[in-house]
Amino acid sequence: MTEAAFHGVQGGLSRRYTEGIMPATIIPEHNKICFSTGKDIHANNGIIGITKDLSVWEGYDGVIYDEDDYETELSRQEKVELADLMISLWKEFKKQAL
């Protein structure tokens, strides 16, 4: 993956797919999660959590920030992508425990 995949979205969704970033991909070495919409959010060490009341938190201070360190909300599509990603990770976690 190139740095172009992490900065800007020139070319939009198709560029992200060609650069190897699929919907809601964790990029831990860059402390971010990338969405197919072109939005990248900061996620300290790739950590995202969810509370019992369904609030989403990132790994350090709980606030979801975009690449420019502004607090941001996830769109409906981004929430679905994030949920799908987290479900797949938890399934893999369970599989390794069995």
DSSP 62-94: S--BBTTS-B----HHHHHHHHHHHHHHHHHHH
The pLDDT value recorded for residue 1 is: 35
Sign of CA dihedral 27, 64, 48, 89: negative
Cα angle 67, 12, 39 (rounded to 5 degrees) comes to 25
Q: 1 near 15, Cβ under 8 Å?
A: no
Residue 41 has pLDDT above 80, yes or no: yes
The pLDDT value recorded for residue 9 is: 36
The pLDDT value recorded for residue 22 is: 59
Report domain extents, the chain: 3-97
Q: Which one is predicted more confidently, 97 or 51?
A: 97
Global pTM reads 0.71
The letter for the amino acid at 11 is G
**59-87: per-residue pLDDT in tens?**
777 778 777 777 888 899 998 999 998 99
